[in-house]
């Protein structure tokens, strides 16, 4: 009952000996994720917390531990290199948490990704979690409960807000995917919506978007034609002034494009239930369920 | 980050994008000297501030216009004397205007034809895209709306880069003749090199002009840089002029706080950009007006929380402060301690509405209760927004 990550996920952590890498590797371990190895160039041969072997390269980690997913905490200046290293080593799922990667670097990463079978989530994202099975990322595990509601979002804390509302109302989650707030990134709203639509164990899902770009509109158009599951949505940034980057590099209204209004209209047109405020995301999903 | 016109010109000069001859000056004597050096019949003196609309702006002294055509070095000096040290108000500068500390002195050019040329980082194609048009010197949004056929868009491959044939084709497509094609293509190639080498998000040359002498030059330009890449371009980061920015934003950036000033009276402090935007939205939904966007980030320290408070409480427009924290990485007790420290240090008589949820929330709430600080607690985001709006009603 999940997409992309479950009990069979074998996780590698790139940047495991750094501050946040170490903290969140431990967080994932505590949650029950099967963390099998770490990579930090120059630290090969060390053992993290007396149990996780550290390698110099992803290829070595892959050969030795058969990891099929990676979580990247490498600092922004070196993160694109690490993503490409994971892609070249054939890691199936690459989750890049790092915030602040230059856009030009991501442009090159995407050019490389186009010629591979790897799936990239992020960067600048909270990660992905299938409650009760596998957590890859920085989200607080305890707010989640296993269940059949999917969540897709560009923002971290706003995702926690939605998950918490669902959990409080007694609705557990199948898989929650944080796709990230950068203008050029891996998995899109549309990709995630397709996965959740096809997942037999996801009954309904919430799509959380924000101003900037046109991914929400693309997902809405697809959902309108192809998805029979109940969908609820919220778009952040109705009150954001044009031309200003609202924290996320991707959250910017420019040239009259990417406004909250245009996105809300597209979602409504697709028969999606809109939450009027961020405190009603859970309620909107319950309403959509009927 | 924005830069001044003279800084853009210096960047163009460095990368071989042709511009009118000229230099920046900060005194009348320098202006006269540069004008003499240029040796042209007329020179242009341009006030250097970030706001647009300089030509039609008015100085607080009453002097009209931040851009003047002068027919002698002496006249250039006289005009510069009326600009330097004075405050220029334009339709983009706000009522308070901006003080002019520098002027650009440049040779005037005889224009035969005007074009538009820009390079943008495009999220849809995930590439740098060249946008060009035969319609220069006008608002490009109008061209896109009214005559979209006059606008061409060419995505550039991220690793192959701009090819010569692409540059030549663009030149021909926007109306350069066979003879003018090569100088135009040369300028395009230089602009692309500059764009990639300095991690720009935008280089907009408007107008790009063909002079009566057959030269192709960039007459005016706007730059945007990728903030995430400034770490590898210290020379670009050094071009930042904090005098041109909102002082609240400058103060926030010193502590790595993500702050954007707005016009309302309900200040907010939130962790996470999406939640911060959503908090502004819900304040508005309940009839209030947010004073700012403030994301304290995922791993804020007590010091950052304290400084964030200082900025919010020190803003005369603010009548109430709403704190909305969903602790994930961030722990609620750390936030609570930051709030307590700030409240004890800063004399604050504003209503303070606090909504905490997430990691260590019990400890956080307990700290706040025991601190004796006068605050309004909220059970959820909706409740918090309602209480904040009521508190300023």
The span from the CA of A216 to the CA of A209, in Å, is 6
Coil, strand or helix: which one is B133? strand
- Please, what is the end-to-end C-alpha distance for chain B in angstroms? 37
CA atoms within 13 A on the CB side of B273: 27
Report the residue from A246, A256, A280 with minimal CB separation from B273: A246
Name the residue with tokens 């409650």.
Answer: A131
Question: What pLDDT band is residue B327 in, cutting at 50, 70 and 90?
Answer: confident
pLDDT averaged over every residue in chain B: 92
In the block, residue with structure tokens 């943008």: B120
Q: Residue B288 pLDDT > 90, yes or no? A: yes
Arithmetic mean of pLDDT, B271-282:
94
How far from A3 is each of A32, A190, B326, CA to CA, in Å?
17, 14, 26
Q: Quick one: average pLDDT of B143-153? A: 89
Q: Is the peptide bond before B389 cis (omega within 30 degrees of 0)?
A: no
Mean pLDDT of B51-66: 92
How many C-beta neighbours within 10 Å does residue B244 have? 17
User: Given pLDDT bands bounded at 50, 70 and 90, which one contains residue B182?
Assistant: very high
Based on DSSP, count helices (H) and strands (E) in chain B, helices before strands: 13, 19
Which residues are CB-contacts of B232 (< 8 A; sequence separation ≥ 6)? A77, A102, B199
Residue B217 phi, psi (nearest 5)? -135, 155
Q: Do A249 and B227 touch (CB under 8 A)?
A: yes
pLDDT tier at A243, thresholds 50, 70, 90: confident
Residue of chain B minimizing CA distance to A255? B141
Which residues on chain B are in Cβ contact (under 8 Å) with A244?
A: 260, 293
Among B273, B294, B324, which would you mutate to test the A interface (most chain A Cβ atoms within 10 Å of its Cβ)?
B273
Q: Which residues of A are catalytic?
A: 248
Closest chain A CA to residue B262: A241
Note whether B326 contacts A164, CB cutoff 8 Å. Answer: yes
CB of A278 closer than 8 Å to CB of A234 = yes
A76/B228 Cβ within 8 A: yes
CA distances A228 to A194, A198, A200, Å, are 11, 10, 12
Cα B352 to Cα A16, B326, B373, distances in angstroms: 40, 17, 9
At B169, list the tokens: 């084709």
B296, closest residue in chain A (CA to CA)? A247
A97 phi/psi in degrees, rounded to 5:
-85, -30
Contact criterion met (CB < 8 Å) for B285 and A256: no
Least CA distance to B229: which residue of chain A? A102
| Residue among B228, B274, B357 whose CB faces A236 most closely | B274
The per-residue pLDDT for B306 is: 86
pLDDT for position A1: 53
Q: For residue B272, list chain A residues with Cβ-Cβ distance below 8 A.
A: 155-158, 247
> Could A246 and B277 be called an inter-chain contact, meaning their C-beta atoms sit closer than 8 Å?
yes
pLDDT per position as a tens digit, A203-230: 999 999 999 999 999 999 999 999 999 9
**Spatial separation of the C-alpha atoms in residues A152 and A127, rounded to whole Å:** 11
Chain A closest CA to B74's CA: distance in Å? 41
Q: Which of B246, B314, B305, B315 is nearest to B271 (CA)?
A: B305
Q: Is residue B345 over pLDDT 90? A: no
Residues in B closer than 8 angstroms to A154, CB to CB, are 274
Residues sharing a CB contact under 8 Å with residue B22, sequence separation 6 or more, in sequence order: B9, B34, B38, B43, B44, B104, B105, B106, B107
Q: Annotated catalytic sites of B, by residue?
A: 116, 204
CA torsion sign for A139, A145, A146, A147 is negative
B371/A53: higher pLDDT: A53
Q: Residues A272-276: what's their mean pLDDT?
A: 97
- Which chain A positions have a beta carbon within 8 Å of B382's beta carbon? 277, 279-280
Residue of chain A nearest B326, judged by CA positions: A157
Taking an 8 Å cut-off on Cβ atoms, the answer to whether B121 and A244 are in contact is no
Beta pairing partners, B322: B268, B353
Which DSSP category does A254 fall into? B
CA distance A175 to A5: 8
The pairing of beta strand A173-178 with beta strand A146-153: parallel
0.90 surpassed by pTM: yes
Is there a contact between A166 and A222 (Cβ–Cβ < 8 Å)?
A: no
Instruction: Say whether A74 sits in a helix, a strand or coil.
Output: coil
**3-class DSSP assignment, residue B208:** strand
Q: Band of the pLDDT at B52, cuts 50, 70, 90?
A: confident
Grouping H, G, I as helix, E, B as strand and the rest as coil, residue A266 is helix
What ipTM was estimated for this complex?
0.93
Question: Which residues from chain A sit within 8 angstroms of residue B299, using beta carbons?
Answer: 20
In this prediction, what percent of chain B has a pLDDT beyond 90?
A: 70
Pairing status of strand B376-377 against strand B352-358: parallel
B389's enclosing H/E stretch is: helix B381-392
How do beta strands A134-137 and A146-153 pair?
Answer: unpaired
């Amino acid at each position: 009952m999940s997409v992309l990550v479950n009990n069979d996920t074998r996780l590698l952590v790139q940047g495991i000996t750094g501050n946040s890498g170490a903290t969140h590797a431990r967080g994932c371990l505590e949650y029950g994720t099967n963390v099998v190895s770490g990579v930090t160039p120059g630290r090969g041969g060390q053992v993290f917390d007396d149990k996780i072997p550290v390698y110099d390269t992803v290829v070595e980690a892959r050969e030795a531990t058969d990891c099929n997913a990676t979580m990247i905490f490498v600092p922004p200046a070196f993160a694109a290199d690490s993503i490409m290293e994971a892609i070249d080593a054939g890691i199936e799922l690459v989750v890049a948490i790092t915030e602040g990667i230059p856009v030009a670097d991501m442009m090159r990463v995407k050019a490389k990704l186009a010629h591979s079978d790897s799936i990239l989530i992020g960067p600048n994202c909270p990660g992905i979690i299938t409650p009760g099975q596998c957590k890859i990322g920085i989200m607080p595990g305890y707010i989640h409960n296993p269940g059949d509601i999917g969540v897709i979002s560009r923002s971290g804390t706003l995702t926690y807000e939605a998950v918490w509302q669902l959990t409080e109302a007694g609705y557990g989650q199948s898989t929650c995917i944080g796709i990230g707030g950068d203008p050029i990134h891996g998995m899109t709203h549309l990709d995630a919506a397709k996965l959740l639509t096809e997942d037999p164990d996801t009954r309904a899902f919430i799509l959380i978007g924000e101003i900037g770009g046109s991914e929400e509109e693309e997902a809405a158009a697809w959902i309108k034609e192809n998805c029979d599951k109940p969908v609820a949505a919220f778009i952040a940034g109705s009150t954001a002034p044009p031309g200003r980057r609202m924290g996320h590099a991707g959250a910017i209204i420019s040239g009259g494009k990417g406004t909250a209004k245009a996105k809300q209209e597209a979602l409504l047109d697709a028969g999606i239930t809109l939450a009027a405020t961020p405190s009603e995301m859970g309620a909107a999903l319950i309403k959509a369920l009927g | 980050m924005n830069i001044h016109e003279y800084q853009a010109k210096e960047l163009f000069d460095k990368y071989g994008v042709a511009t009118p001859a000229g230099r920046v000056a900060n005194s009348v004597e320098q202006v006269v000297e540069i004008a003499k050096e240029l040796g042209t019949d007329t020179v242009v003196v341009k006030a250097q501030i970030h706001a647009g609309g300089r030509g039609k702006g008015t100085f607080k002294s009453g002097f009209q216009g931040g851009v003047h055509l002068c027919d002698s070095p002496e006249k250039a000096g006289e005009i510069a004397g009326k600009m330097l040290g004075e405050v220029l108000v334009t339709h983009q500068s706000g009522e308070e205007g901006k003080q002019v500390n520098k002027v650009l002195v440049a040779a005037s050019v005889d224009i035969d034809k005007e074009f538009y040329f820009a390079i943008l980082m495009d999220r849809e194609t995930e590439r740098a895209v060249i946008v060009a048009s035969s319609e220069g010197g006008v608002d490009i949004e109008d061209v896109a709306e009214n005559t979209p056929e006059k606008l061409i868009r060419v995505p550039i491959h991220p690793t192959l880069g701009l090819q010569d044939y692409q540059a030549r084709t663009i030149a021909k497509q926007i109306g350069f003749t066979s003879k003018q094609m090569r100088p135009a293509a040369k300028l395009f190639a230089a602009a692309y090199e500059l764009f990639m080498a300095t991690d720009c998000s935008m280089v907009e040359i408007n107008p790009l002009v063909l002079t009566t002498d057959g030269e192709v030059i960039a007459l005016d330009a706007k730059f945007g840089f990728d903030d995430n890449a400034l770490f590898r371009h210290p020379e670009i980061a050094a071009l930042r002029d904090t005098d041109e920015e909102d002082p609240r934003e400058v103060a926030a950036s010193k502590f790595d706080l993500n702050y954007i000033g707005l016009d309302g009276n309900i200040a907010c402090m939130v962790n996470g950009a999406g939640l911060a935007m959503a908090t502004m939205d819900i304040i508005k939904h309940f009839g209030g007006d947010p004073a700012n966007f403030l994301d304290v980030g995922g791993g804020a320290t007590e010091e950052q929380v304290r400084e964030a408070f200082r900025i919010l409480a020190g803003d005369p427009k603010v009548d109430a402060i709403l704190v909305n924290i969903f602790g994930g990485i961030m722990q609620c007790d750390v936030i609570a301690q930051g709030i307590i420290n700030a409240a004890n240090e800063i004399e604050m008589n504003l209503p303070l509405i606090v909504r905490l949820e997430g990691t260590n929330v019990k400890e956080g709430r307990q700290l706040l209760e025991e601190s004796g600080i006068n605050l309004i607690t909220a059970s959820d985001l909706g409740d918090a927004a309602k209480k904040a709006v009521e508190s300023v009603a």
